[in-house]
Structure 1
């Protein structure tokens, strides 16, 4: 006699067989499996046949009718990434998404946003590891029952996207399970692919819905097939990556030679009255310098400049409509900016002229003296960075204009003179040295010597009254000796930078250093040299700060001090933070004259003199150093 369990097993098998026969019968009218030789083709055709009749249950995460999807954007890395996140927000908003404005608001939600996008940095390994940890956290928070109510979790499973430089570098590997068994991302988009985000998100949603609608056996079979398809015939991982498509259903890492997002007005989040006094305006993307240590040319692509008309339009909107009182012009190599549309117009006008007085620029006119590059750009008649800087400053004397991140080679005399002649152009210049050693700079492919760099510093001091400098330094680059390290220490002491961004060298794939040099400086030596660089910078900065005592600065007020509500805080023209007793007179976005009485490495303490305007301050100091 058969047991009841045997009977139940037999009934289930019979039911499964009948379902299989019915399914095959319904499919036979449209196609025959015999005519398709691969499992992948059969599976794809079966999926296409099922799409019209597919019913989405509560496990799907399509929004309800007339419901806006929510999206949260988290940003890591440089100011360019912060500006790019504003472009991303604008793209998604134009497609009906509601942007979650802050991490705090996202955490307070009863269910996760439909879309979580992480805009990433790839310049060092540490930055990538930090992002991976955050992605695992997002994945855990949106799948664990303890994170959100079960009902809400089922309806709103988040699509997680990796954007920016890390997405461009790692590409499709982010869509696979990592060593810890976690699939970090559902979509991947490089810096030039943000227009494509709505399509990528829709495809990820569609894929997840398909996964939710099939049973466990089908899921297991699909996984086995996908794993087999990912393997190369010879098992060569590097070969597979080389031929990996750059645009797929859920990935777009195609780099562009033209994309500048010029017609997209980036979305600053929050109410106008809550916005920062400072606003980013991207003017240039990509980098052609090919420094041996740097991954940026491979994650951001070739240099291209945005047209000047759209830049000026955006800057005016930021100033007049959003009350921004400081514009920060951004680019990977910002002072190499060149609007070629002006060159085309000038050449056409020149060719139609009977005198035809066209001239050709030389390397000495394009670059600072003693600097060179792997390429020589044509700058005939072009609207260069000096002209753009002057035009942005001309929007209003009440608008302060800064720029970052430049390359020292792109500080020709005409740019230094423009900065000197234009009162509201910031006098804090970022001059990334990277090293104080000529031999190390040569290995880094920086295009200049220590002597050329110091000559540029001295020239800037001679042309621009009260100029201040910031810089970048790398400790422990390939082959760095103790003597080369000492050269960097001596450079720090001589220049006395206001700010310094210092890092231990981190080898990056694809760079010239990874192919031609050896990362042979031990980690403990890197860290020791880095500590010495930081300490030297701090001591030199403290010594230089003493010279600020007694000076009067024009301070752009940014708000109240975090430590004392009775005090205001803002920044002087040299980038220094200034704190002073406010007496409720100066408000955010206004200017104040402040006399300095105490000076620290990063912060100046002063006494309020009076409220003023930038124009009144500049007029009063005309013909003298801006800080009397």
Structure 2
């Protein structure tokens, strides 16, 4: 579907392996190693898998070569991600030769589409497990240990893993993700998600609030509520009267999480432009600890292309949504996704995208050129008819324009004072800390006596194209 060219939104990571820093593998019968690719949903899924394996006596390790079980949580959203996964699986096959009995499994979005190739043709893995089948991992492991190929890629209309407490696999201890729903009903023609993650279903609101509260009690100070389209979250208790109003909308869920404690910051991702409501925007305005930041994917500035993509909104409608966000939340940070060179895209369509970018002036963006993904509606309906060189030229223009907007946005913050949550030590200097402001911009400032998880006030004195710099900080 998409080939990434520039990513300035910090929630997407590729190929990171995690193990709980507080755990010792010595107390477990076996070790597992897990590596995740793609979106934040995949990383959250890996934490669910870790919890399931932990119950089965597996401890996490950061060293793949010493693991009894290697799992790679895959992403099908871009061809590059699939290529990377295949390369890693080839490397893991070498580890198996030196450690008899080691098992290798593929999880996530590549599972259903490529199960036959991975298991039989290329013989790269012992197990293939889809996003809705993680509860069956123990039985699949037992089956694979007998030498059989173990597979479960069935999608579910009900599975949300709401009763599983994820094991946090990062070393941050300050920020974390909380999944609020799974799947997607939108059927955008370029997207594989409805086919790899199934239909949309919302998680029990009480379990979401309980998980966020537990994180706060354990020292975390920021949660990001995750879903393919969080604004369509809608949960009704199973025993509720069908005619009653006993349900929870996304705005109501946001408020419930924000009310856990004023010190708990709340973010969310991702919003679909057609579904984000005034109720959500007014809820954000009401609670100081709900961050003023919205990821609002555009994909294209051309109404004609948006219709081909089945995005269900027009250029004019999107512009009005941007206006409404800025009317209710004047200082809201705005980020987006943009695809260049979708099927039949003309120079006029491309110019519409550049023009809309000039209007919105996004703070952060993911920018890609289109590449057809097997199984999508676009692959079935349309011809991928834009030459790759032309796609790359248009993408370069989009990237250049966004970088100018991003630099302008950064410069506009020089002299302003922000509340920042300390997330850790700067990668470039042990004498500096970093955190993010409300608008999701990274701020670097002197270490002083501050610590992770603390809120500080900083006044920005300088900036780079991607970072705000403060000379001093004051504890709140």
With the length of structure 1 as denominator, give the TM-score of the two structures.
0.70
| Aligned residue number for residue 6 of structure 2 | none
1:217-296 alignment, distance < 5 Å: 250-269=150-169, 274-296=171-193
C-alpha displacement at 1:168, in angstroms? 2.2
Specify which of 409, 416, 421 is matched with residue 274 of structure 2: 409
Task: Tell me the matched-pair count.
Answer: 450
C-alpha displacement at 1:607, in angstroms? 3.0
C-alpha displacement at 1:414, in angstroms? 0.9
Higher relative contact order (CA 8 A, sep 6+): 2
Q: 1:382 to 1:284 in 2, by over 3 A?
A: same
8 Å contact from structure 2 (residues 172, 424) kept in 1: no
Counterpart Cα distance in 1 of 2:280 and 2:412: 27
Counterpart Cα distance in 2 of 1:564 and 1:536: 30
Counterpart Cα distance in 2 of 1:465 and 1:400: 19
Counterpart Cα distance in 2 of 1:269 and 1:520: 42
* Structure holding more helix per residue: 1
C-alpha displacement at 1:269, in angstroms? 3.2
| Aligned residue number for residue 365 of structure 2 | 500
Which deviates more from structure 2 when the two are superposed, residues 258-267 or residues 490-499? Answer: 490-499
Structure 2 gap segments, 5+ residues each: 1-26
C-alpha displacement at 1:446, in angstroms? 0.2
Specify which of 466, 471, 479 is matched with residue 344 of structure 2: 479
Specify which of 229, 247, 251 is matched with residue 333 of structure 1: 229
| Aligned residue number for residue 9 of structure 1 | none
Counterpart Cα distance in 2 of 1:516 and 1:435: 18
Asked whether 1:536 is paired with 2:416, we answer no
Cα displacement string for residues 441-473 of structure 1 (whole angstroms, at most 9, x for unaligned residues): 011000001110010000100001301100001
C-alpha displacement at 1:328, in angstroms? 0.7
C-alpha displacement at 1:113, in angstroms? 1.4
Specify which of 366, 384, 393 is matched with residue 519 of structure 1: 384
| Aligned residue number for residue 195 of structure 1 | 135
8 Å contact from structure 1 (residues 122, 295) kept in 2: yes
C-alpha displacement at 1:440, in angstroms? 0.7
Cα displacement string for residues 546-588 of structure 1 (whole angstroms, at most 9, x for unaligned residues): 211111100001122121222111110100000112322x211
Counterpart Cα distance in 2 of 1:336 and 1:600: 36
C-alpha displacement at 1:606, in angstroms? 1.2
| Aligned residue number for residue 607 of structure 1 | 471
C-alpha displacement at 1:411, in angstroms? 0.9
* Structure holding more strand per residue: 2
| Aligned residue number for residue 582 of structure 1 | 447
| Aligned residue number for residue 307 of structure 1 | 204
Counterpart Cα distance in 1 of 2:359 and 2:246: 38
Superposition RMSD in Å: 1.6
Cα displacement string for residues 303-356 of structure 1 (whole angstroms, at most 9, x for unaligned residues): 0000011111111111102x11100101111221111218x63656x5xxxxxx
Counterpart Cα distance in 2 of 1:511 and 1:269: 32
Runs ≥4 residues deviating over 4 A = none
8 Å contact from structure 1 (residues 438, 450) kept in 2: yes
Which is greater in Rg?
A: 1
Structure 1 gap segments, 5+ residues each: 1-65, 209-248, 351-379, 613-628
8 Å contact from structure 1 (residues 124, 507) kept in 2: no
Specify which of 383, 396, 405 is matched with residue 248 of structure 2: 383
Counterpart Cα distance in 2 of 1:415 and 1:543: 28
Asked whether 1:158 is paired with 2:102, we answer yes
Specify which of 488, 491, 496 is matched with residue 356 of structure 2: 491
With the length of structure 2 as denominator, give the TM-score of the two structures.
0.91
1:62-461 alignment, distance < 5 Å: 68-100=29-61, 102=62, 105-106=63-64, 112-143=66-97, 148=98, 153=99, 156-178=100-122, 183-207=123-147, 250-269=150-169, 274-321=171-218, 323-341=219-237, 345=240, 347=242, 350=244, 382-461=247-326
Counterpart Cα distance in 2 of 1:260 and 1:590: 32
| Aligned residue number for residue 9 of structure 2 | none
